Amino acid sequence: MARVLVVDDEKLIVKGIRFSLEQDGMEVDCAYDGNEAIEKAKEREYDVVLLDVMLPGHDGFEVCQAIREFSEMPIIMLTAKGGDMDKILGLEYGADDYITKPFTLALVKMHIEAVLKRAGKLRTMVEYNDLQADVNAQLLFYKEQHIPTTRKEFDLMVYFMEHPGIVLPRDTILNACLLYTSD
């Protein structure tokens, strides 16, 4: 399970991102200003930090610099500023990726996955009872016997394996299928 720190002063954005990431089994902490973000990052190592640029206290660039003084945890900058200079500045301060607002949650999740993969923190095996799923190879096994699946069937099984014992609403399942399937 990935641990994510979401930093944005817009509480509605934080709430939406948090809900979506938690639905995917991620553990999410939130901060609403630069000072709080630095303190949380010092207290705990996160797999990825989603960091808004425009923050009260210290701005996102300053927070990024401060985190880089004590950690190499991946940082994805979120900003309404789409200019090349802002992107260059964010990357020079140590950000690993950059997303321009407005964005979709699907895009945020894809960026998180890409950053986690580059950092070697993306889980490759999902297990539940006698089921094992090799996420990278897209292979499903039951008691070590390969079970052929389509891409959509595989993604759905992994989603169910990651959410055991939870009653999932139909819309949640359909959204998960749409977000994580490519065919």
Encoded amino acid at 128, one letter: Y
**66 close to 58: Cβ distance less than 8 angstroms:** yes
* pLDDT of 177 strictly over 70: no
Q: What is the pLDDT of residues 83-93, one digit of tens each?
A: 788 788 888 88
Q: What are phi and psi of 29, to 5 degrees?
A: -110, 155
**64 close to 95: Cβ distance less than 8 angstroms:** yes
pTM, whole model, 2 decimals?
0.69
Q: What is the pLDDT of residues 18-68, one digit of tens each?
A: 999 988 878 999 999 999 999 999 999 999 999 999 999 899 999 999 999
Give the alpha-carbon dihedral of 175, 177, 181, 183, to 10 degrees.
-110
* pLDDT of 164 strictly over 90: no
**Quick one: pLDDT at residue 152?**
84
Encoded amino acid at 171, one letter: D
- C-alpha pair distances (Å), 16 with each of 58, 83, 84: 23, 25, 27
